[in-house]
Amino acid sequence: MSDDFTYRGKTVEELQEMNLEQFSELLNSDARRKIRRGLNDGEKKLLNDLEESGSAQTHERDMIVVPSMIDTTVEVYNGQRFVEVDIEPEMLGHKLGELAKTRKKVEHSAPGLGATRSSQHVPLK
């Protein structure tokens, strides 16, 4: 755990002592509203599993990273498989879906035969 890290002027230890309502006051309006409306059953189960074992699997990509999740491992579903994410203090306030990308990086190579009009006139020998 990083000793010099602060989130909106609060150290990690101070953040972990706060309850969810107090922490939500430090978040942006979207995350604050989500926490005020209450966590759904899947999100509550995720927090409970993390508290018990320190790791969990979830489909809850819209879950906000809260201080109680720091230094745990969450496997977040990206649509094909579960991506392992180690929660660090810098991730506070972000959603789990931001940390498990759903798309691969596209790398284009040279154009193939027939890709352009000029390649139709290239002899194959």
**Residue closest to 68 by CA, chosen among 97, 111, 39:** 39
In a domain, 91, yes or no: yes
The answer to the question of residue 111 being in a domain is: no
What is the reported pTM?
0.79
Q: Is residue 114 part of a domain?
A: no
In-domain check, residue 90: yes
φ and ψ of 5, to 5 deg = -75, 135
Residue 118 lies in a domain: no
Q: Is 36 helix (H, G, I), strand (E, B) or coil?
A: helix
Give the count of domains, the chain: 1
Position 119 in a domain: no
- Among the listed residues 94, 73, 92, 91, the one whose alpha carbon sits nearest the alpha carbon of residue 83: 73
Report if residue 109 sits inside a domain.
no
Can you tell me the distance from the alpha carbon of 23 to that of 18, in angstroms, rounded to the nearest whole number? 6
Domain that holds residue 20: 10-101
Per-residue pLDDT tens digits of the chain, which is 125 residues long: 445 899 999 999 999 999 999 999 999 999 999 999 999 999 999 999 999 999 999 999 999 999 999 999 999 999 999 999 999 999 999 999 999 999 988 888 777 666 677 666 666 66
pLDDT digits (tens, 9 = 90+) for 88-119: 999 999 999 999 999 988 888 777 666 677 66
Residue 15 lies in a domain: yes
Which CATH number do you get for residue 19? 3.30.860.10
Residue 73 CA from chain centroid, whole number: 11
